[in-house]
């Protein structure tokens, strides 16, 4: 959930952006997309490590 930096109101999702219903502040959801990409790349590293351990045996 995102909050408005101006009035602290909860931002409402509107299309791809977030909008404050109180003061009409608009915020893009770029931060959320970035964090999702970081989480997505973590399992791949784990798979590579798994193969490395398997080759040693
Ligand atoms: Zn606001």
Higher pLDDT, 32 or 57: 57
* Residue-number span of the structural domain to which 23 is assigned: 12-56
In a domain, 25, yes or no: yes
In a domain, 46, yes or no: yes
Hey, what are 29's tokens?
A: 């959801």
Predicted pLDDT at 5: 92
Hey, what are 10's tokens?
A: 């909860």
Q: Domain total for the chain?
A: 1
Backbone φ and ψ of 27, nearest 5°: -135, 135
* pTM more than 0.75: no
In a domain, 4, yes or no: no
Predicted pLDDT at 6: 94
Q: Are 4 and 11 spatial neighbours (Cβ–Cβ below 8 Å)? A: yes
Give, in degrees to the nearest 5, the angle at Cα 54 between 48 and 57. Answer: 150
Whether 29 shows a pLDDT value over 70: the answer reads no
Q: How far is the CA of 12 from the centre of ligand 1 (A)?
A: 10
Residues 6+ apart with CB under 8 A from 55: none
Whether 52 shows a pLDDT value over 70: the answer reads no
Q: What is the mean pLDDT of residues 15-36?
A: 77
Predicted pLDDT at 23: 96
Q: How far is the CA of 26 from the centre of ligand 1 (A)?
A: 8
């Amino acid at each position: 959930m995102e909050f408005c930096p101006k009035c602290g109101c909860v931002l409402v999702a509107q299309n791809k952006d977030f909008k404050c219903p109180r003061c009409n502040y608009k915020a893009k959801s770029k931060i959320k997309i970035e964090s999702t990409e970081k989480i997505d790349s973590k399992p791949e590293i784990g798979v590579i490590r798994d193969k490395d351990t398997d080759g040693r045996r």
